[in-house]
Amino acid sequence: MKEYLQLMRHVREQGVRKEDRTGTGTISVFGYQMRFNLAEGFPLVTTKKCHLKSIIHELLWFLKGETNIRYLQDNGVSIWDGWATPEGELGPVYGHQWRSWDGGDGSTIDQISDVIHQIKTTPDSRRLIVSAWNPAVLPDTRYSPKENAAMGKQALPPCHTMFQFYVLEGKLSCQLYQRSGDVFLGVPFNIASYALLTLMVAQVCDLQPGEFIHTLGDAHLYVNHLAQAETQLARKPYPKPKMIINPNVKDIFNFTFEDFELQNYQAHPHIKAPVAI
């Protein structure tokens, strides 16, 4: 995963001090792109041990269309706890926009089913897009994430705002536009999550995996992650692991946690860091 360390090094060297919503402070750059050839292995960061279980459950939870953290908590995943109401609600975040975007006339739009249908029937399309960015439900910035969620607004505006698929010569690629990337904590999760989604969509569409292209807007290192970043930058990446997916699953909504097996994941020890709420 030299691509990830290059991003981290770039932000450390070029990043400029910038204040942020959470009051933590960051060093930030605007605009960065990484490319991962999924045939070369699974892009899970190796310079610290990453908790793949949380990544898989979060993605399955998005695909279920759920926005209450109950499913995550039942599976021991706590990464969304900081933003949810006491009842576990996050408002209409990713799962809601992906599976039941409000059509405005009482109808809802299942963007995931639609995009898979389009990939299968019109693979040359230049409109293979899923958008999580819905201006009608953005949080009211006068209130905290939990207050917004309690009012039926999104706890947080989506960081992964939209993604686009592309089919060429039997291979499926995916590009994500992420408006804001927490380079130390979130980005390793985000890379693995979208790489996995690309493998899953490729399988159900009978395509081979192509590239995952990760485009970042505000790419930042929180100032309370700088020491952890230094530790990581001093480490040498291991070869990429391999993701094995149960080949019998042919419906994107039928995957379960047991359908995924990561092989040959060799990683340096985990590095702890506080998450900015």
User: In the complex with ligand THF, which residue's Cβ is closer, 14 or 22?
Assistant: 22
Burial class (CB in 10 A: 0-12, 13-18, 19+), 39: exposed
Candidates 5-13, 76-84, 134-142, 261-269; binding stretch for ligand THF (CB under 6 A) = 76-84
Cβ–Cβ < 8 Å for 232, 5 = yes
The Cβ of residue 117 has, within 10 Å, a number of other Cβ atoms equal to: 12
221 known member of a binding site: yes
Whether 174 sits among the annotated catalytic residues: the reply is no
Per CB under 6 A, the list member of 68, 79, 133, 259 interacting with ligand THF is 79
Query: Shortest gap between Cβ of 54 and ligand THF (angstroms)?
Result: 3
The span from the CA of 110 to the CA of 91, in Å, is: 17
Query: Shortest gap between Cβ of 144 and ligand THF (angstroms)?
Result: 13
CA 88: distance to chain centroid?
Answer: 20
Binding positions for ligand THF, 51-70, rule CB under 6 A: 51, 54
x/- string (CB under 6 A) for ligand THF, residues 156-175? x--x----------------
Binding positions for ligand THF, 177-216, rule CB under 6 A: 182, 185-186, 189-190
Which alpha helices (H) appear in the chain, and where do they start and end? 2-14, 52-64, 70-74, 94-100, 111-121, 145-150, 186-204, 226-233
Is residue 101 a contact point for ligand THF (CB under 6 A)? no
Which alpha helices (H) appear in 151-264, and where do they start and end? 186-204, 226-233
Q: Give the nearest residue (CB) to ligand THF.
A: 186
User: In the complex with ligand THF, which residue's Cβ is closer, 79 or 109?
Assistant: 79
Euclidean distance between the first and final Cα of the chain, in Å? 27
Residues that bind ligand THF (CB under 6 A): 51, 54, 78-80, 156, 159, 182, 185-186, 189-190, 275-276
Catalytic residues: 159
